[in-house]
Amino acid sequence: MNEDQLFFEPAVSLSTTDVDDAEGLADTLIPDGDGGTGDNGASVPGDATPPDGPLRRMIDDHFIQYASYVIRDRAIPDLADGLKPVQRRILWSLHEQDDGKFTKVANVVGHCMQYHPHGDGSIAAALVGLTNKLTLIEGQGNFGNLHTGDPAAASRYIECRLTGMARDELFNDHLTRLVPNYDGRRKEPVTLPCKLPLLLLLGAEGIAVGLSTRILPHNLGELLEAQIAILTKERFRIYPDFRQGGTMDIREYNKGNGRVRVRARIEPRGKDTIVITEIPFSTTTESIMASIEAAARKKKIKIRAIQDYTAEAVEIEITLDEDQEPQRAIQALYAFTQCEVPISARLIVIDDGKPVEMDVNAVLRDATERLVKILKRELQWRKRELEADVHKRTLIQIFVENRIYKRIEECEAYPEVQAAVRTGFDPFAAQLTQSVTEKDIEMLLSIPVKRISRFDIKRSRKEIGDRVREIGEIEKKLGAMTPYAVQYLRGMIRAYAGDAVRRTKVETFKDVEIRDLTAEELTVRYDAATGYLGTGIKGEDAVLTCSSYDKVLCVWPDGRYKVIPPPERLFVEELIYLGPAERDRVLTIVFTHGDFTFLKRFKLGGTIMNRDYMAGGVTSRVLYFSDASPETLYVKYHKASRLRITEQEFDLTAVVARGARARGNQMTSKKIRVITDVRPRGWKDDPDRPRGRFKNF
């Protein structure tokens, strides 16, 4: 579990200031025995309003503080630099220890514990996570495997250091505002003056109290190009990009919110082998293989073997059964395994101390505005630094070149020395950009004689001229910050994003028809001798081939019917029909009810699973049932005295399909011996034969 998913409630102490006295506390917590209120009028648990009192108010206050702390200082990243507090403290610790060499992770964790009061485990886990993103921290040793999910080695065995990009773009001690740490002994940054859009580059996940965030990572080059588009007022589109690669469908993605569907990259090799070369974000080869094995056990996909050859790159080889087509197997992997996963996104950040929901475009615009401000502050700081340096060098040059130091030889007291130096600069006031201060005088008086004797006037003038020209260039940049920011971004693209190609390809997925893939997944058999039905029944004849997503319609001789999922073994006694349950398919039934025979065409419509329904009356007997919508029924009657009509044809083309509860159409009051939708042998067309007619109900 991640550091930001482990929350520890601060200790709650009860002092004498929290309650007036023990008696008041007891009255607040203990109601009267009659279930009403105590003498102090406090509410009891039976009331609509929970009991109020000093203890409840104290708990409410502590909970609000705890929730606010978790949201602001643990789980949700800050919009200013895109970092969570633990990440910021890790980077600051590396910055303080940075000498260009690798440092033991255990040492970094120990140093960071001065700023992060939540234990070494959470710090080490966050540091490994940052290192595996390959942007800010460079690792040496076993930091785990992103593809397989293998954990990192112990902190004492692995080393790390800041990357060049982190050194150049994250830190500036002159612009960093520091505050005391949790024990007041040291100072830590509120936010880092970051010039990169880290929030979108790294991504983030965090679960706080009643609040969660999930920000998907993006491609560095695309982010920087989008920032240039913002500065030049051009349109841009930005989509997530994952280190694991794969393909991505963004139809349900809305600028950092919504969700994306990510698929593994699967390639057929030969007739019976397919290979997974890239996996979706948030999965590992271990979880992928486990999901494939589970799908194979459920007969969703037919495989003979699966092998994992993953090392630097993903390679999962799947050997298929002889009758399994590779393309159909690939579709089944997308449908039934983690080879396709939906990834939800919700962009919530801390802005000015408060959680806010934003979108990618707004975050990128804020990062661009912040970049321009930071660049401007850096230029202004450099200008002040150069101006101070020019002033210092000019003072030294005048002091040495005009031998002002000779004035102090005749001075007896130190105030006279300071005054002599100050008055010595009066003739040269026009050459100075600033007035001479006491600090300047002290600096001049501390110059060694050796330096004065070897002072190079030409070199001094050249150095002053170089700095003056640099000040002029800075002033030009300050007057055109947008072009300078664009130039700076292009420099970062050349330096850091030259090989940052997109790994995840954006595609529109064709929806996988799960029912088509599993149409022959199950074979439901019925054993008339035992009355059992199901996929676990042994027999030679297959009654029904269906999917596990299908529903089965069972019809009994008395007109009772039921919709059930494909069972493994179910006792059903005698059935007259077994088939797929389709709510819009027209069914035809002929049944006796009392002294009459009825015909009904109906649709199943909506049914409740495993519930009995009646197609006819309570005492009905089904004579004919079909799901094929016959156009003609051929009927032969039992012979009886005075019975002139012994056979009839019934035309069903005009019979309208009704609801399942309708009684139907009356066919006849004669007793039927044979009824069929297949023309009997020897049945002759007789124009004088009476046609069957229906009486509607």
Q: Which amino acid is at 642?
A: R
518, 300 contact by CB (below 8 A):
yes
pLDDT digits (tens, 9 = 90+) for 358-415: 999 999 999 999 999 999 999 999 999 999 999 999 999 998 888 888 888 888 888 8
637, 671 contact by CB (below 8 A):
yes
Q: Which residue has the tokens 């007739």?
A: 271
Q: How far apart are CA 282 and CA 339, in angstroms?
A: 11
Question: ∠80-123-355 over CA atoms, to 5°?
Answer: 30
- Which one-letter DSSP state was computed for residue 454? T
Mean pLDDT across the chain: 86
355, 447 contact by CB (below 8 A):
no
Question: What integer pLDDT is reported at residue 39 of this predicted model?
Answer: 43
Assess whether 157 carries a catalytic annotation. yes
Query: What separation in angstroms does the CA of 181 have from each of 76, 88, 190?
Result: 19, 13, 10
Question: What integer pLDDT is reported at residue 21 of this predicted model?
Answer: 37
* 623 CB neighbour count, 10 Å cutoff: 20
Least reliable range by pLDDT among 110-124, 174-188, 660-674:
660-674
- Which domains are delineated in the chain? 3-69 (no CATH), 76-194 (3.90.199.10), 265-338 (3.30.1360.40), 363-494 (1.10.268.10), 582-696 (no CATH)
Query: What separation in angstroms does the CA of 42 have from each of 30, 33, 442, 629?
Result: 9, 13, 74, 73
Question: What integer pLDDT is reported at residue 22 of this predicted model?
Answer: 35
Question: What integer pLDDT is reported at residue 49 of this predicted model?
Answer: 60
Annotated catalytic residue within 66, 69, 157, 309: 157
Question: What integer pLDDT is reported at residue 689 of this predicted model?
Answer: 64
Rounded to an integer, the average pLDDT of 139-154 is: 94
pLDDT digits (tens, 9 = 90+) for 7-17: 333 333 333 33
| Phi–psi pair at 650, nearest 5 degrees | -115, 120
Number of H helices, E strands in the chain: 17, 34
421 burial (CB, 10 Å; 0-12 / 13-18 / 19+) is buried
Residues 6+ apart with CB under 8 A from 42: 27, 28, 31, 51, 52, 53
pLDDT digits (tens, 9 = 90+) for 240-270: 999 999 999 999 999 999 999 999 999 999 8
